[in-house]
């Protein structure tokens, strides 16, 4: 009996031990399956559950003027999207969109786009990007299921339409599409980064690890002074409207550094709503408009003549006929002159005299000197879309080309090319490339870009002679009297050109372009400027009548702003040469 009991106990122990062993084996097997065979898959699932990687978009760099004032900055804004959950039918989603329409200004086009995306079965649909925080609050309060917000950044231009053509604009993804925004997009946009977030069981982020740091865009400092820009824009708008012109442009620069202080074009647009509804408003007339400069080009004629034949200055020319004829071409002076000295030809802007000088120079000389002043090629200003101008080589000229070129026809230039040319005169014959970018912001403060090396284009003596004995006299007693400033000696040249009519296939005597290009003060130029007004329709159209006064008004206010002491007191006492400008170089 005892033996039987003992066997039974042993059997039971064996069964229990076997059962336990089997149980352990099963568990062990399962563990091997989970830990060995499904290791990678399960590890990834676990990682997925408690951590996630997010792309970090860098903040686009800020654009500032030379005084540090913000011109463009990216600020955070919410964007709304619809997240579709499995099983949600189309009608439910459309109902949500309908209820959103009462809270958000959604255009019929936007609604149609959302409906199309719903029809396509998309799970993620943008409702409206870059809305205001107030709009988001309204949507949040409505508690519409499936509608979520995501943080993005929006470009903000605090000065509105001011400097629009220089700044350009960005698209919905903050990528530069025009102006400085496009030109320096590479520096402004920065570099995307990646961050690993860890989450707890409630999916709250409690830790993060930067896998790849995002590099914020670099801040840029422009050479533009927003106060000078404002002065130029205000006077330009006034001039365009008063003279009923089609468009106008003003560029102000510091001729001794090549820095652009202001670049205004009218009509303008608000870069906060880029691109503008009217594409014409987007054209930067300062660099993207080719036009025949008329008499303003005579400056280069004078420079070439004096450089090649210095004794020209003493010559006298017979302009008494009042007109010049060649092969059916008749060019007239605006009034009859008698004998005119070399400087008088330019002071009074005699076409007949200018043609005589051009004929003495010859086509090759005139061509090479116009090229020397940079016509027919880009100035290299750091803005996209600059025009070259149109300037054909002498091989394709006709017998009319030389007299035409002498008075600024058969050549198309841009306003910035004219400014560059006058800067050569103002800067004693040295060409300093024009530029808009002054400095980059860096960790140590500012990385100021070095000034480009000047290139001699004209002898210093000829440049001074043209400035003091011709261009200053144009303003003092010639066609540019309206540009004269109280207290300062200014220099400049007027220009009036008839516009070519492609329908008439000839120049239209009722359509003109008026301009003035000059600098002030003559002895130590602080600013140079070009003013162009297209198709004035209010009666007056001569550059000396409508563009020169704009030069005077802008120059007067800018010199006052820069704190320059006038060279002459009200009693006409000649004072010391102009004092230093106010902290112009401080970015």
Q: How many residues bind other proteins (CB under 8 A)?
A: 34
Q: What are phi and psi of 379, to 5 degrees?
A: -75, -20
Q: With CB under 8 A as the contact rule, which of the stretches 81-89, 155-163, 294-302, 319-327 interacts with other proteins?
A: 155-163
> For residues 431 and 564, which CB has a smaller minimum distance to other proteins in the complex?
564
Residue 529 and residue 228: Cα distance in Å, rounded? 12
Is 203 near other proteins (CB under 8 A)?
Answer: no
| Least gap, CB of 63 to other proteins (angstroms) | 11
Is 348 near other proteins (CB under 8 A)?
Answer: no
> For residues 157 and 391, which CB has a smaller minimum distance to other proteins in the complex?
157
B/e letters for 115-128, b = 16+ CB within 10 Å, e = fewer, are eebbeeeeeebbbb
Is 52 near other proteins (CB under 8 A)?
Answer: no
> Which H or E element spans position 91?
helix 90-101
> For residues 56 and 308, which CB has a smaller minimum distance to other proteins in the complex?
56
Site track 106-135 with other proteins (rule: CB under 8 A), x = hit: ------------------------------
| Least gap, CB of 570 to other proteins (angstroms) | 6
> For residues 106 and 485, which CB has a smaller minimum distance to other proteins in the complex?
485
Instruction: Give the tokens for residue 333.
Output: 């002076």
Q: How many CB atoms lie within 10 A of CB 582?
A: 10
Instruction: Give the tokens for residue 386.
Output: 């600059």
Residue 487 and residue 284: Cα distance in Å, rounded? 33
Q: Which of 581, 575, 514, 582 is nearest to 542 (CA)?
A: 514
Q: What residues are labeled active site? A: 295
Looking only at Cα atoms, what is the longest distance across the chain? 157
> For residues 163 and 383, which CB has a smaller minimum distance to other proteins in the complex?
163
| Least gap, CB of 79 to other proteins (angstroms) | 16
| Least gap, CB of 208 to other proteins (angstroms) | 7
> Which H or E element spans position 299?
helix 298-308
Q: With CB under 8 A as the contact rule, which of the stretches 39-47, 136-144, 211-219, 224-232 interacts with other proteins?
A: 224-232
Interface of this chain with other proteins, residues 59 to 88, rule: CB under 8 A:
69-71, 73, 75-76
Q: With CB under 8 A as the contact rule, which of the stretches 229-237, 306-314, 360-368, 408-416 interacts with other proteins?
A: 229-237
Q: Which of 203, 570, 572, 586 binds other proteins (CB under 8 A)?
A: 570
Is 310 near other proteins (CB under 8 A)?
Answer: no
Match 């450089």 to its residue by tokens: 307
Contact predicate 252/434, CB 8 Å: no
Is 1 near other proteins (CB under 8 A)?
Answer: no
| Least gap, CB of 581 to other proteins (angstroms) | 14
Is 200 near other proteins (CB under 8 A)?
Answer: yes
Q: With CB under 8 A as the contact rule, which of the stretches 30-38, 307-315, 507-515, 570-578 interacts with other proteins?
A: 570-578
Is 577 near other proteins (CB under 8 A)?
Answer: no
Is 487 near other proteins (CB under 8 A)?
Answer: yes
| Least gap, CB of 174 to other proteins (angstroms) | 15
> For residues 390 and 446, which CB has a smaller minimum distance to other proteins in the complex?
446
Is 265 near other proteins (CB under 8 A)?
Answer: no
Is 160 near other proteins (CB under 8 A)?
Answer: yes
By DSSP bridging, strand 220-222 and strand 63-64 are: parallel
| Least gap, CB of 560 to other proteins (angstroms) | 8
Residue 387 and residue 435: Cα distance in Å, rounded? 16
Contact predicate 55/210, CB 8 Å: no
| Least gap, CB of 240 to other proteins (angstroms) | 17
Instruction: Give the tokens for residue 40.
Output: 């990678």
Site track 179-198 with other proteins (rule: CB under 8 A), x = hit: -------------------x
DSSP conformation class of 469 = I
Residue 61 and residue 189: Cα distance in Å, rounded? 6
Is 162 near other proteins (CB under 8 A)?
Answer: yes
Q: With CB under 8 A as the contact rule, which of the stretches 227-235, 327-335, 373-381, 447-455 interacts with other proteins?
A: 227-235
557 burial (CB, 10 Å; 0-12 / 13-18 / 19+) is: middle
Q: Which of 206, 399, 447, 585 binds other proteins (CB under 8 A)?
A: 206
Q: Which of 143, 204, 505, 572 binds other proteins (CB under 8 A)?
A: 204
What three-state secondary structure class fits 439? Answer: strand
Q: With CB under 8 A as the contact rule, which of the stretches 2-10, 102-110, 424-432, 569-577 interacts with other proteins?
A: 569-577
CA distances (Å), origin 459, targets 264, 308, 310, 426, 428: 31, 11, 11, 12, 7
Q: Which of 18, 158, 213, 310 binds other proteins (CB under 8 A)?
A: 158
Please list, in sequence order, all residues whose beta carbon lies within 8 angstroms of the beta carbon of residue 230, skipping any fewer than 6 positions away: 162
| Least gap, CB of 206 to other proteins (angstroms) | 3
Interface of this chain with other proteins, residues 545 to 564, rule: CB under 8 A:
560
R_g of the chain, CA atoms, integer Å: 36
Contact predicate 146/83, CB 8 Å: yes
Q: Which of 243, 232, 292 is nearest to 268 (CA)?
A: 232
Strand spans (E) along 84-200: 124-128, 147-156, 169-170, 176-178, 193-199
Is 230 near other proteins (CB under 8 A)?
Answer: yes
Contact predicate 559/527, CB 8 Å: yes
203 burial (CB, 10 Å; 0-12 / 13-18 / 19+) is: exposed
Is 226 near other proteins (CB under 8 A)?
Answer: yes
> For residues 200 and 447, which CB has a smaller minimum distance to other proteins in the complex?
200
Residue 14 and residue 16: Cα distance in Å, rounded? 6
Q: Which of 415, 391, 414, 395 is nearest to 404 (CA)?
A: 391
State the residues that interact with other proteins by CB under 8 A. Answer: 69-71, 73, 75-76, 156, 158-160, 162, 198, 200, 204-208, 226-227, 230-231, 234, 486-487, 560, 565-566, 569-570, 573, 575-576, 579
């Amino acid at each position: 009996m005892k033996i039987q009991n003992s066997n039974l106990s042993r059997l039971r122990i064996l069964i229990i031990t076997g059962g336990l062993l089997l149980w352990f084996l099963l568990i062990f097997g399962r563990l091997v399956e989970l830990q060995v065979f499904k290791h990678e898959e399960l590890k990834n699932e676990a990682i997925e559950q408690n951590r996630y990687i997010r792309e970090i978009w860098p903040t686009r760099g800020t654009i500032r003027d030379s005084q540090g004032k913000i011109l463009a900055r990216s600020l955070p804004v919410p964007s709304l999207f619809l997240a579709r959950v499995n099983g949600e039918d189309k009608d439910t989603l459309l109902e949500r969109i309908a209820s959103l329409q009462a809270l958000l200004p959604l255009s019929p086009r936007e609604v149609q786009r959302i409906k199309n995306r719903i029809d396509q079965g998309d799970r993620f649909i943008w409702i409206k990007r870059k809305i205001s925080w107030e709009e988001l609050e309204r949507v949040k309060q409505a508690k519409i299921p499936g509608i979520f917000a995501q943080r993005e950044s929006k470009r903000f231009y605090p000065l509105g339409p001011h400097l629009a053509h220089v700044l350009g604009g960005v698209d919905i993804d903050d990528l530069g599409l025009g102006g400085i925004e496009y030109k320096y997009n590479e520096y402004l946009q920065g570099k995307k980064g990646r961050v690993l977030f860890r989450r707890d069981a409630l999916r709250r982020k409690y830790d993060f690890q930067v896998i790849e740091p995002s590099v914020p865009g670099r801040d840029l400092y422009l050479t533009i002074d927003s106060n000078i820009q404002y002065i130029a824009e205000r006077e330009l708008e006034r001039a365009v409207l008063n003279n009923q012109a089609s468009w106008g442009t003003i560029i102000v620069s510091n001729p001794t550094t090549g820095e652009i202080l202001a670049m205004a074009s009218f009509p303008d647009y608000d870069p906060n709503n880029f691109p503008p509804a009217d594409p014409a408003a987007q054209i930067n007339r300062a660099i993207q408009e080719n036009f025949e400069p008329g008499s303003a080009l005579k400056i280069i004629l004078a420079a070439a003549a004096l450089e090649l034949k210095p004794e020209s200055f003493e010559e006298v020319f017979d302009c008494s006929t009042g007109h010049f004829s060649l092969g059916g071409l008749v060019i007239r002076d605006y009034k009859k002159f008698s004998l005119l000295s070399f400087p008088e030809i330019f002071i009074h802007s005699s076409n007949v005299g200018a043609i005589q000088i051009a004929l003495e120079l010859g086509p090759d000389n005139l061509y090479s000197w116009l090229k020397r002043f940079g016509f027919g090629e880009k100035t290299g200003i750091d803005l996209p879309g600059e025009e070259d101008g149109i300037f054909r080589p002498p091989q394709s000229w006709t017998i009319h080309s030389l007299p035409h070129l002498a008075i600024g026809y058969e050549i198309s230039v841009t306003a910035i090319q004219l400014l560059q040319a006058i800067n050569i005169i103002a800067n004693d014959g040295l060409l300093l490339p024009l530029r808009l970018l002054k400095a980059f912001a860096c960790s140590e403060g500012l990385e100021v870009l070095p000034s480009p090396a000047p290139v001699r284009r004209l002898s210093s003596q000829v440049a001074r002679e043209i400035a003091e004995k011709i261009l200053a006299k144009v303003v003092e007693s010639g066609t540019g009297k309206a540009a004269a400033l109280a207290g300062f000696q200014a220099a400049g040249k007027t220009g009036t050109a008839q516009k070519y009519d492609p329908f008439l296939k000839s120049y239209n005597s009722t359509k003109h372009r008026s301009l003035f290009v000059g600098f002030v003060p003559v002895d130590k130029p602080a600013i140079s400027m070009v003013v162009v007004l297209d198709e004035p329709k209010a009666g007056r159209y001569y550059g000396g009548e409508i563009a020169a006064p704009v030069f005077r008004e802008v120059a007067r206010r800018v010199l006052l702003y820069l704190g320059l002491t006038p060279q002459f007191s009200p009693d006409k006492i000649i004072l010391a040469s102009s004092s230093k400008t106010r902290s112009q170089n401080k970015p």
